[in-house]
Amino acid sequence: MELAQKLSILADAAKYDASCSSSGAKRTRPTDGFGNTTGMGICHSYTPDGRCVSLLKILFTNRCIFDCAYCVNRLSSNTPRASFTVAEVVRLTVGFYRRNTIEGLFLSSGIIKSADYTMEQLIEVARRLREEERFGGYIHLKAVAGASKEILARAAQVADRLSANIELPTQKDLDTLAPAKTIVETETTMDQLHNISQTEGPKKLMPAGQSTQMVVGATAASDASVLDTSNRLYTSHRLRRVYYTAYSPSSQPHAALPTKPVGLLREHRLYQADWLLRFYQFRVDEIVQPGQNLALDKDPKLAWALSNRAFFPVDLNRAPREALLRVPGLGTTNVQRVLSLRRQRTVTVDDLRHMRVSLKKTLVFLEIPGDRSAVRHLDIQSLEDRVKPRQLNLFATGQSALTGQV
Ligand code: SF4
């Protein structure tokens, strides 16, 4: 098979792995235009210092000995198959890099013979890039759950990031759709990687840490269950990111799966809730009740505020950081700005305006001297009525998630 044909198959097969982020936006392109938000092959990811890098995103092979029902590359699927050689992936990566098309590589794979054998191939690609080609760019490798500790340690020497995919939130879900996999095995791999990353030495191992992905909506598992699992992964294994993928039937759908795709709004709300867990000191049970899904008609921080009205208004000039973080419309950066400014003087509505805080969304939850906070506090009573239960356009610019008005 020609290299270009392999590239077409294996870049397309890699697009389902969300543990390396890329845009989920779909846009109609004019016939005489160029640029595509849904194409495969090159995706964007973020380095620990916040830079956005373009990565060649491919599978080493889409042949797999497993038969996970939600995966287009499962053993029983009749999707076209292809495999690269180690030399081909090295050649492609160096070629694209030299043409200034990519800054790094995301390399995943179907399971070839065993977890160790598969990882050996991925590690050999990264080793040759690092040692023979002197490649200093970003490398993200798949960590196959169940690989030996020695193999994982070798992967951590050459990769910036490793990701073992948890795939589904509970063992019951895996038993239904991916019976060859266990949560325990994946979390053991994550645990081993975390321990390896803490090893003292001349260079930091896997400096961009670990990520994982979870498919949402392929089973009846609730958002509460998904977030419980994410929370455990963040706290027990120090994962940097959990990526959520709304289930979408492939061209080779499995009979056990839903026939319709899961709405992207559900995925979006999970990312918002995930943010609240990681940066806003919320607990899962504050965001969503056990067994329930997140509300789709409002973001989870606003939903919490509306059901905890007694918590508000929060005094902008006296409240602790944790309380300010709970105010809808106040992000972590602006909370930090408020805390710094109020060491010197009283913070006013004008200061919030200069920080580009959405006053329409925020003021009703705040007590600010000289401001009619009591009147605004009454407005909270009517706020819920103003939130229209309808699906928002995630990609419209300048649209308020609170009111639906521009
Ligand atoms: S192990 Fe990975 S590649 Fe293989 S069928 Fe399961 S999800 Fe797909």
Give residue-wise pLDDT tens across range 345-356.
999 999 999 999
- Is 220 within the bounds of a domain? no
pLDDT for position 48? 55
11 confidence band (pLDDT: 50, 70, 90): confident
Q: If you measure from the C-alpha of residue 239 to the centroid of ligand 1, how many angstroms do you get, rounded to a whole number? A: 21
- Is 42 within the bounds of a domain? yes
Among 66, 79, 168, which residue has the most ligand 1 atoms within 8 Å of its CB, making it the best to mutate? 66
- Is 249 within the bounds of a domain? no
Residue 29 pLDDT greater than 70, yes or no: no
Q: If you measure from the C-alpha of residue 181 to the centroid of ligand 1, how many angstroms do you get, rounded to a whole number? A: 10
- Percentage, residues of the chain above pLDDT 70: 83
Residue nearest (by alpha carbon) to ligand 1 atom 6:
68
pLDDT for position 393? 45
Q: If you measure from the C-alpha of residue 293 to the centroid of ligand 1, how many angstroms do you get, rounded to a whole number? A: 27
Mean pLDDT of all residues belonging to the chain: 86
Q: Do residues 319 and 182 both lie within one domain?
A: no
pLDDT for position 201? 81
Atom of ligand 1 nearest to the CA of 109: 3
CA dist 211 → 3, 54, 93, 163, 186 (Å): 29, 17, 22, 5, 12
- Is 269 within the bounds of a domain? no
Q: If you measure from the C-alpha of residue 77 to the centroid of ligand 1, how many angstroms do you get, rounded to a whole number? A: 11
Q: Do residues 165 and 16 both lie within one domain?
A: yes
- Is 162 within the bounds of a domain? yes
Q: Do residues 54 and 175 both lie within one domain?
A: yes
Asked whether the beta carbons of 248 and 299 are under 8 A apart, the reply is no
Atom of ligand 1 nearest to the CA of 108: 3
Among 68, 75, 108, 213, which residue has the most ligand 1 atoms within 8 Å of its CB, making it the best to mutate? 68
Q: If you measure from the C-alpha of residue 210 to the centroid of ligand 1, how many angstroms do you get, rounded to a whole number? A: 19
Final residue of a structural domain among 150, 180, 199: 199
pLDDT for position 46? 64
CATH of the domain at 98: 3.20.20.70
Q: Do residues 195 and 313 both lie within one domain?
A: no
Final residue of a structural domain among 177, 199, 221: 199
Full domain range(s) for residue 351: 309-386
Asked whether the beta carbons of 9 and 30 are under 8 A apart, the reply is no
Q: If you measure from the C-alpha of residue 167 to the centroid of ligand 1, how many angstroms do you get, rounded to a whole number? A: 10
Residue nearest (by alpha carbon) to ligand 1 atom 2:
110
CA dist 23 → 72, 245, 359, 395 (Å): 20, 12, 29, 11
Q: If you measure from the C-alpha of residue 72 to the centroid of ligand 1, how many angstroms do you get, rounded to a whole number? A: 8
Q: Do residues 20 and 163 both lie within one domain?
A: yes
Q: If you measure from the C-alpha of residue 68 to the centroid of ligand 1, how many angstroms do you get, rounded to a whole number? A: 6
CA distance 261 to 167: 17
Residue 39 pLDDT greater than 60, yes or no: no
Residue nearest (by alpha carbon) to ligand 1 atom 3:
110
- Is 281 within the bounds of a domain? no
Q: What does the pLDDT average to over 216-238?
A: 96
Weakest mean pLDDT among 57-61, 164-168, 384-388, 394-398:
394-398
Ligand 1, CB within 6 Å, residue ranges: 64, 66, 68, 71, 73-74, 110-111, 178
Final residue of a structural domain among 199, 219, 249: 199
Among 10, 62, 65, 73, which residue has the most ligand 1 atoms within 8 Å of its CB, making it the best to mutate? 73
Q: Do residues 11 and 139 both lie within one domain?
A: yes
Residue 45 pLDDT greater than 80, yes or no: no
Among 61, 74, 114, 121, which residue has the most ligand 1 atoms within 8 Å of its CB, making it the best to mutate? 74
What is the chain's Cα-based Rg?
A: 23
Q: What does the pLDDT average to over 69-77?
A: 90
Q: Do residues 163 and 17 both lie within one domain?
A: yes
376 confidence band (pLDDT: 50, 70, 90): low
pLDDT for position 31? 63
Q: What does the pLDDT average to over 337-347?
A: 96
Condensed to tens digits (0 to 9), the pLDDT of residues 117-164 reads 999 999 999 999 999 999 988 899 999 999 999 999 999 999 999 999
Work out how many domains the chain is built from and give that number: 2
Q: Which residue from 239, 238, 235, 217 is spatially nearest to 226, judged by alpha carbons?
A: 217
Residue nearest (by alpha carbon) to ligand 1 atom 1:
66
Q: What is the dihedral of CA 397, 286, 325, 357, to 10 degrees?
A: 20
pLDDT for position 12? 82
Weakest mean pLDDT among 44-53, 283-292, 322-331:
44-53
Total-model pTM: 0.83
Q: If you measure from the C-alpha of residue 70 to the centroid of ligand 1, how many angstroms do you get, rounded to a whole number? A: 9
342 confidence band (pLDDT: 50, 70, 90): very high
19 confidence band (pLDDT: 50, 70, 90): low
Q: Do residues 195 and 320 both lie within one domain?
A: no
- Is 299 within the bounds of a domain? no
pLDDT for position 67? 93
- Is 256 within the bounds of a domain? no
Q: If you measure from the C-alpha of residue 69 to the centroid of ligand 1, how many angstroms do you get, rounded to a whole number? A: 9
